[in-house]
Protein backbone atom coordinates (compact mmCIF):
# COMPACT_ATOMS: atom_id res chain seq x y z
CA UNK A 1 0.00 0.00 0.00
CA UNK A 2 1.36 3.43 -0.89
CA UNK A 3 0.02 6.95 -1.19
CA UNK A 4 2.81 8.05 -3.54
CA UNK A 5 1.68 8.18 -7.18
CA UNK A 6 3.83 6.36 -9.69
CA UNK A 7 4.70 8.49 -12.74
CA UNK A 8 3.84 7.39 -16.24
CA UNK A 9 6.41 5.29 -18.05
CA UNK A 10 9.40 7.29 -19.22
CA UNK A 11 8.84 10.20 -16.83
CA UNK A 12 11.38 11.04 -14.16
CA UNK A 13 10.29 11.45 -10.53
CA UNK A 14 11.68 14.98 -10.45
CA UNK A 15 11.87 17.88 -12.88
CA UNK A 16 14.06 20.94 -12.28
CA UNK A 17 14.09 24.15 -14.27
CA UNK A 18 16.07 27.32 -13.63
CA UNK A 19 14.02 30.46 -14.14
CA UNK A 20 16.76 33.03 -13.50
CA UNK A 21 20.26 33.37 -12.14
CA UNK A 22 22.33 36.14 -10.59
CA UNK A 23 25.96 35.21 -10.51
CA UNK A 24 25.99 31.73 -8.99
CA UNK A 25 22.59 32.24 -7.32
CA UNK A 26 19.61 30.57 -9.03
CA UNK A 27 15.84 30.69 -8.82
CA UNK A 28 14.18 27.51 -10.01
CA UNK A 29 11.19 25.20 -9.86
CA UNK A 30 11.56 21.64 -8.56
CA UNK A 31 8.59 19.41 -9.37
CA UNK A 32 7.99 16.19 -7.40
CA UNK A 33 5.05 13.75 -7.18
CA UNK A 34 3.72 15.67 -4.15
CA UNK A 35 4.13 19.21 -5.39
CA UNK A 36 6.39 21.87 -6.85
CA UNK A 37 9.05 23.66 -4.80
CA UNK A 38 10.12 27.21 -5.64
CA UNK A 39 13.86 27.36 -5.05
CA UNK A 40 15.93 28.47 -3.26
CA UNK A 41 14.08 26.85 -0.38
CA UNK A 42 14.69 25.90 3.24
CA UNK A 43 13.39 22.54 4.48
CA UNK A 44 12.15 22.40 8.08
CA UNK A 45 13.43 19.22 9.73
CA UNK A 46 10.89 16.69 10.94
CA UNK A 47 13.40 14.19 12.28
CA UNK A 48 10.91 11.75 13.78
CA UNK A 49 8.06 12.43 11.36
CA UNK A 50 7.26 15.73 13.06
CA UNK A 51 8.70 19.22 13.11
CA UNK A 52 8.89 19.72 16.86
CA UNK A 53 5.92 21.59 18.38
CA UNK A 54 4.25 22.15 14.98
CA UNK A 55 1.44 20.48 13.04
CA UNK A 56 1.40 20.07 9.24
CA UNK A 57 -1.16 22.87 8.92
CA UNK A 58 1.23 25.18 10.77
CA UNK A 59 3.97 24.39 8.26
CA UNK A 60 1.68 25.03 5.31
CA UNK A 61 0.64 28.40 6.76
CA UNK A 62 4.29 29.31 7.32
CA UNK A 63 5.09 28.68 3.65
CA UNK A 64 7.01 25.41 3.99
CA UNK A 65 7.05 23.57 0.66
CA UNK A 66 9.13 20.50 1.58
CA UNK A 67 10.31 18.94 4.83
CA UNK A 68 13.12 16.56 5.74
CA UNK A 69 12.79 13.44 7.89
CA UNK A 70 15.54 11.21 9.22
CA UNK A 71 16.05 7.60 8.18
CA UNK A 72 18.14 6.69 11.22
CA UNK A 73 15.54 7.74 13.77
CA UNK A 74 12.53 6.40 11.86
CA UNK A 75 14.32 3.09 11.33
CA UNK A 76 14.71 2.69 15.10
CA UNK A 77 11.27 4.00 15.96
CA UNK A 78 8.59 3.22 14.80
CA UNK A 79 10.32 1.22 12.04
CA UNK A 80 9.90 1.19 8.25
CA UNK A 81 7.44 -1.70 8.32
CA UNK A 82 5.06 0.27 10.54
CA UNK A 83 5.29 3.35 8.31
CA UNK A 84 4.69 1.21 5.21
CA UNK A 85 1.57 -0.27 6.84
CA UNK A 86 0.23 3.27 7.24
CA UNK A 87 0.72 3.87 3.52
CA UNK A 88 4.03 5.68 3.67
CA UNK A 89 5.50 8.67 5.47
CA UNK A 90 3.16 11.26 3.92
CA UNK A 91 0.05 9.58 5.24
CA UNK A 92 1.67 8.53 8.51
CA UNK A 93 2.51 12.12 9.47
CA UNK A 94 -0.35 13.87 7.70
CA UNK A 95 1.89 15.98 5.44
CA UNK A 96 0.73 16.23 1.84
CA UNK A 97 3.73 18.09 0.41
CA UNK A 98 7.11 16.80 -0.74
CA UNK A 99 9.41 15.01 1.71
CA UNK A 100 13.15 14.35 1.57
CA UNK A 101 14.58 11.56 3.73
CA UNK A 102 18.28 11.54 4.46
CA UNK A 103 20.19 8.28 4.74
CA UNK A 104 21.01 8.45 8.45
CA UNK A 105 24.71 8.57 7.56
CA UNK A 106 25.40 11.64 9.68
CA UNK A 107 23.65 10.17 12.71
CA UNK A 108 25.62 6.93 12.35
CA UNK A 109 28.80 9.04 12.10
CA UNK A 110 27.79 10.78 15.33
CA UNK A 111 27.59 7.48 17.20
CA UNK A 112 31.39 7.27 17.38
CA UNK A 113 32.41 4.22 19.41
CA UNK A 114 28.95 2.66 19.03
CA UNK A 115 29.46 1.92 15.33
CA UNK A 116 31.78 -0.10 13.09
CA UNK A 117 32.33 0.76 9.42
CA UNK A 118 33.31 -1.72 6.72
CA UNK A 119 33.18 -1.63 2.94
CA UNK A 120 29.91 -3.56 3.13
CA UNK A 121 28.17 -0.99 5.33
CA UNK A 122 27.90 0.00 8.96
CA UNK A 123 26.91 -1.82 12.13
CA UNK A 124 25.87 0.20 15.15
CA UNK A 125 24.08 -0.09 18.42
CA UNK A 126 20.82 1.78 18.84
CA UNK A 127 21.06 4.71 21.22
CA UNK A 128 17.54 3.79 22.35
CA UNK A 129 17.92 0.19 23.48
CA UNK A 130 21.42 -0.96 22.52
CA UNK A 131 20.32 -3.47 19.91
CA UNK A 132 22.62 -4.02 16.95
CA UNK A 133 21.50 -2.63 13.62
CA UNK A 134 23.17 -3.10 10.23
CA UNK A 135 22.87 -0.70 7.32
CA UNK A 136 24.15 -1.25 3.81
CA UNK A 137 23.54 0.90 0.73
CA UNK A 138 20.98 -1.67 -0.41
CA UNK A 139 19.20 -1.77 2.95
CA UNK A 140 18.94 2.03 3.05
CA UNK A 141 17.29 2.02 -0.38
CA UNK A 142 14.83 -0.61 0.84
CA UNK A 143 13.99 1.38 3.98
CA UNK A 144 13.52 4.64 2.08
CA UNK A 145 11.31 2.84 -0.45
CA UNK A 146 9.08 1.82 2.47
CA UNK A 147 8.99 5.43 3.67
CA UNK A 148 7.96 6.66 0.21
CA UNK A 149 9.59 10.10 0.35
CA UNK A 150 9.82 12.10 -2.88
CA UNK A 151 13.61 12.58 -2.59
CA UNK A 152 15.89 10.03 -0.95
CA UNK A 153 19.60 9.97 -0.15
CA UNK A 154 22.09 7.07 -0.26
CA UNK A 155 24.22 5.81 2.60
CA UNK A 156 27.46 7.77 2.78
CA UNK A 157 30.44 8.09 5.11
CA UNK A 158 30.87 11.50 6.69
CA UNK A 159 34.50 11.93 7.78
CA UNK A 160 34.98 13.60 11.16
CA UNK A 161 36.42 17.05 11.63
CA UNK A 162 39.29 17.32 12.09
CA UNK A 163 40.88 14.25 10.54
CA UNK A 164 43.89 13.38 8.41
CA UNK A 165 43.96 13.32 4.61
CA UNK A 166 44.02 9.52 4.49
CA UNK A 167 40.80 9.29 6.49
CA UNK A 168 39.13 11.85 4.20
CA UNK A 169 40.27 9.97 1.10
CA UNK A 170 39.09 6.61 2.43
CA UNK A 171 35.67 7.96 3.44
CA UNK A 172 35.20 9.65 0.07
CA UNK A 173 36.13 6.56 -1.91
CA UNK A 174 33.78 4.45 0.19
CA UNK A 175 30.98 6.99 -0.35
CA UNK A 176 31.51 6.66 -4.11
CA UNK A 177 31.32 2.87 -4.00
CA UNK A 178 28.19 3.02 -1.88
CA UNK A 179 26.67 5.58 -4.27
CA UNK A 180 26.98 3.15 -7.20
CA UNK A 181 25.45 0.37 -5.13
CA UNK A 182 22.55 2.61 -4.09
CA UNK A 183 21.78 3.46 -7.71
CA UNK A 184 21.70 -0.25 -8.58
CA UNK A 185 19.47 -1.02 -5.57
CA UNK A 186 16.91 1.79 -6.01
CA UNK A 187 13.52 0.17 -6.55
CA UNK A 188 10.83 2.86 -6.80
CA UNK A 189 10.56 4.90 -10.01
CA UNK A 190 8.55 7.58 -8.20
CA UNK A 191 11.46 8.53 -5.93
CA UNK A 192 14.31 10.86 -6.87
CA UNK A 193 17.75 9.84 -5.61
CA UNK A 194 20.31 12.54 -4.82
CA UNK A 195 24.01 11.71 -4.75
CA UNK A 196 26.21 12.91 -1.88
CA UNK A 197 29.61 14.46 -2.69
CA UNK A 198 32.03 14.22 0.22
CA UNK A 199 35.74 15.08 0.37
CA UNK A 200 36.35 16.31 3.90
CA UNK A 201 38.17 19.62 4.11
CA UNK A 202 40.43 19.22 1.07
CA UNK A 203 39.46 21.30 -1.95
CA UNK A 204 40.98 18.88 -4.46
CA UNK A 205 39.16 15.95 -2.87
CA UNK A 206 35.92 17.90 -2.83
CA UNK A 207 36.18 18.73 -6.53
CA UNK A 208 37.02 15.12 -7.40
CA UNK A 209 34.11 13.76 -5.37
CA UNK A 210 31.69 16.24 -6.93
CA UNK A 211 32.82 15.31 -10.43
CA UNK A 212 32.59 11.60 -9.63
CA UNK A 213 29.07 11.84 -8.19
CA UNK A 214 27.97 14.21 -10.97
CA UNK A 215 29.00 11.62 -13.58
CA UNK A 216 26.48 9.16 -12.11
CA UNK A 217 22.75 9.29 -12.99
CA UNK A 218 21.55 10.91 -9.78
CA UNK A 219 18.56 13.25 -9.89
CA UNK A 220 20.32 15.91 -7.82
CA UNK A 221 23.03 16.41 -5.25
CA UNK A 222 23.17 16.76 -1.45
CA UNK A 223 26.55 18.13 -0.40
CA UNK A 224 27.61 16.33 2.77
CA UNK A 225 30.32 16.44 5.39
CA UNK A 226 30.08 20.17 6.15
CA UNK A 227 28.80 22.13 9.15
CA UNK A 228 30.42 19.47 11.35
CA UNK A 229 32.42 21.87 13.53
CA UNK A 230 34.72 23.53 11.00
CA UNK A 231 35.06 27.35 10.79
CA UNK A 232 32.56 29.04 8.50
CA UNK A 233 35.27 30.31 6.15
CA UNK A 234 36.51 26.75 5.63
CA UNK A 235 32.98 25.47 5.03
CA UNK A 236 32.36 28.04 2.31
CA UNK A 237 35.69 27.33 0.63
CA UNK A 238 34.67 23.65 0.45
CA UNK A 239 31.31 24.59 -1.07
CA UNK A 240 33.14 26.71 -3.63
CA UNK A 241 35.36 23.74 -4.48
CA UNK A 242 32.32 21.47 -4.88
CA UNK A 243 29.66 23.40 -6.80
CA UNK A 244 31.57 24.03 -10.07
CA UNK A 245 32.06 20.27 -10.57
CA UNK A 246 28.34 19.50 -10.25
CA UNK A 247 26.02 19.35 -13.24
CA UNK A 248 24.28 22.76 -13.20
CA UNK A 249 21.07 21.31 -14.62
CA UNK A 250 20.39 19.33 -11.44
CA UNK A 251 19.36 20.73 -8.01
CA UNK A 252 21.91 21.21 -5.23
CA UNK A 253 21.18 20.66 -1.56
CA UNK A 254 23.54 21.62 1.28
CA UNK A 255 23.01 19.27 4.21
CA UNK A 256 22.66 20.61 7.75
CA UNK A 257 23.02 24.36 7.14
CA UNK A 258 20.32 26.79 8.25
CA UNK A 259 21.31 29.99 10.06
CA UNK A 260 20.01 33.11 8.27
CA UNK A 261 23.44 34.37 7.21
CA UNK A 262 24.42 30.90 5.99
CA UNK A 263 21.30 30.62 3.85
CA UNK A 264 22.20 33.93 2.20
CA UNK A 265 25.82 32.90 1.65
CA UNK A 266 24.78 29.48 0.40
CA UNK A 267 22.35 30.87 -2.16
CA UNK A 268 25.07 33.24 -3.35
CA UNK A 269 27.22 30.16 -4.04
CA UNK A 270 24.58 28.32 -6.05
CA UNK A 271 22.78 26.19 -3.44
CA UNK A 272 19.09 25.49 -4.09
CA UNK A 273 17.95 23.58 -0.98
CA UNK A 274 18.89 23.70 2.70
CA UNK A 275 17.87 21.89 5.87
CA UNK A 276 18.77 22.32 9.52
CA UNK A 277 17.35 21.79 12.99
CA UNK A 278 18.82 25.13 14.08
CA UNK A 279 15.77 27.44 13.78
CA UNK A 280 13.55 25.27 15.95
CA UNK A 281 16.32 24.26 18.36
CA UNK A 282 17.43 27.83 19.06
CA UNK A 283 13.77 28.84 19.33
CA UNK A 284 13.24 26.30 22.10
CA UNK A 285 16.26 27.73 23.89
CA UNK A 286 15.10 31.36 23.71
CA UNK A 287 16.70 32.47 20.44
CA UNK A 288 14.45 34.42 18.06
CA UNK A 289 15.50 35.84 14.69
CA UNK A 290 15.17 39.52 13.79
CA UNK A 291 16.48 41.50 10.77
CA UNK A 292 19.50 42.60 12.80
CA UNK A 293 20.36 39.27 14.41
CA UNK A 294 19.24 36.70 16.92
CA UNK A 295 17.90 37.89 20.29
CA UNK A 296 17.48 36.02 23.57
CA UNK A 297 13.84 36.38 24.58
CA UNK A 298 14.67 35.06 28.05
CA UNK A 299 16.75 38.18 28.78
CA UNK A 300 15.24 40.51 31.39
CA UNK A 301 15.00 43.46 28.98
CA UNK A 302 12.12 41.79 27.12
CA UNK A 303 9.89 41.37 30.18
CA UNK A 304 8.12 44.75 29.83
CA UNK A 305 8.05 45.00 26.02
CA UNK A 306 4.45 45.27 24.82
CA UNK A 307 5.32 45.23 21.12
CA UNK A 308 6.03 42.00 19.20
CA UNK A 309 9.58 40.75 19.24
CA UNK A 310 9.82 41.77 15.57
CA UNK A 311 7.44 44.62 14.63
CA UNK A 312 6.18 44.18 11.09
CA UNK A 313 6.67 40.41 11.05
CA UNK A 314 3.73 38.62 9.42
CA UNK A 315 3.94 35.43 11.50
CA UNK A 316 1.02 34.53 13.79
CA UNK A 317 3.26 34.87 16.85
CA UNK A 318 4.18 38.49 16.14
CA UNK A 319 0.70 39.37 14.91
CA UNK A 320 -0.92 38.13 18.12
CA UNK A 321 1.53 38.23 21.04
CA UNK A 322 3.91 40.67 22.71
CA UNK A 323 7.58 40.09 23.35
CA UNK A 324 6.81 40.42 27.06
CA UNK A 325 4.38 37.50 26.85
CA UNK A 326 6.92 35.35 25.00
CA UNK A 327 9.47 36.26 27.65
CA UNK A 328 7.08 35.09 30.36
CA UNK A 329 6.30 31.82 28.57
CA UNK A 330 9.96 31.10 27.92
CA UNK A 331 11.02 31.81 31.50
CA UNK A 332 8.12 29.69 32.82
CA UNK A 333 8.96 26.92 30.30
CA UNK A 334 5.35 26.79 29.18
CA UNK A 335 4.72 24.44 26.25
CA UNK A 336 2.99 27.16 24.21
CA UNK A 337 6.30 29.02 24.00
CA UNK A 338 7.92 26.26 21.94
CA UNK A 339 5.18 26.45 19.34
CA UNK A 340 5.12 30.25 19.14
CA UNK A 341 8.92 30.54 18.95
CA UNK A 342 9.21 27.83 16.30
CA UNK A 343 6.50 29.52 14.22
CA UNK A 344 8.40 32.80 14.31
CA UNK A 345 11.83 31.40 13.44
CA UNK A 346 10.63 29.19 10.62
CA UNK A 347 8.51 31.96 9.14
CA UNK A 348 11.55 34.26 9.30
CA UNK A 349 13.65 31.79 7.31
CA UNK A 350 10.96 30.91 4.80
CA UNK A 351 10.25 34.60 4.19
CA UNK A 352 14.00 35.07 3.75
CA UNK A 353 14.04 32.41 1.04
CA UNK A 354 11.12 34.09 -0.73
CA UNK A 355 12.94 37.44 -0.63
CA UNK A 356 16.09 35.91 -2.11
CA UNK A 357 14.12 34.26 -4.90
CA UNK A 358 12.41 37.57 -5.72
CA UNK A 359 15.76 39.37 -5.79
CA UNK A 360 17.25 36.77 -8.14
CA UNK A 361 14.25 37.04 -10.46
CA UNK A 362 14.48 40.84 -10.37
CA UNK A 363 18.22 40.86 -11.03
CA UNK A 364 18.96 42.64 -7.73
CA UNK A 365 20.35 39.77 -5.68
CA UNK A 366 23.89 41.14 -5.32
CA UNK A 367 22.63 44.37 -3.75
CA UNK A 368 20.07 42.49 -1.64
CA UNK A 369 22.82 40.12 -0.40
CA UNK A 370 25.10 42.98 0.65
CA UNK A 371 22.28 44.89 2.32
CA UNK A 372 21.14 41.88 4.37
CA UNK A 373 24.63 41.02 5.58
CA UNK A 374 25.32 44.66 6.46
CA UNK A 375 22.27 44.68 8.76
CA UNK A 376 22.33 41.15 10.17
CA UNK A 377 24.74 40.42 13.02
CA UNK A 378 25.36 36.66 13.23
CA UNK A 379 26.26 34.87 16.44
CA UNK A 380 30.01 34.91 16.92
CA UNK A 381 32.14 31.80 16.35
CA UNK A 382 33.01 31.85 20.05
CA UNK A 383 29.35 32.04 21.08
CA UNK A 384 28.42 29.23 18.71
CA UNK A 385 31.17 27.03 20.15
CA UNK A 386 30.06 27.81 23.70
CA UNK A 387 26.45 26.96 22.84
CA UNK A 388 27.52 23.75 21.12
CA UNK A 389 29.62 22.76 24.15
CA UNK A 390 26.64 23.35 26.47
CA UNK A 391 24.39 21.31 24.19
CA UNK A 392 26.87 18.42 24.06
CA UNK A 393 27.25 18.55 27.83
CA UNK A 394 23.49 18.07 28.16
CA UNK A 395 23.09 15.45 25.45
CA UNK A 396 26.48 13.76 25.18
CA UNK A 397 27.32 11.94 21.94
CA UNK A 398 23.62 11.51 21.21
CA UNK A 399 22.79 11.49 17.49
CA UNK A 400 19.43 13.22 17.88
CA UNK A 401 20.30 16.72 16.68
CA UNK A 402 16.69 17.95 16.77
Active site positions, annotated: 102, 275
- Closest-CA residue to 273 (of 98, 33, 106, 400): 98
Dist CA 38 CA 66 (whole Å): 10
Q: CB of 194 within 8 A of CB of 153?
A: yes
Would you mind telling me the total number of residues written for the chain in this entry?
402
Dist CA 130 CA 399 (whole Å): 13
Distance between terminal CA atoms of the chain? 30
Dist CA 119 CA 136 (whole Å): 9
- Closest-CA residue to 257 (of 284, 237, 227, 228): 227
Amino acid sequence: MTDTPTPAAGLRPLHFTIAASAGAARAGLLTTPHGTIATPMFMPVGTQATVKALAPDDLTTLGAQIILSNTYHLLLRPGPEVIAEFGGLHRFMGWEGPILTDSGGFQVFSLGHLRALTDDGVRFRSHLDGREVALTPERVMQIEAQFGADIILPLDECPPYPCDAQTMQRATERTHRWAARALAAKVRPDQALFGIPQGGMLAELRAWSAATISALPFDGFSIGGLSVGEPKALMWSMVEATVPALDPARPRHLLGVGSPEDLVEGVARGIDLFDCVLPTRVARNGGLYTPTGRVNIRAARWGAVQEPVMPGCDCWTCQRFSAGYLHHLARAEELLYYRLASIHNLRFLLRLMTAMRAAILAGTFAAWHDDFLARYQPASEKLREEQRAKWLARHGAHPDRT
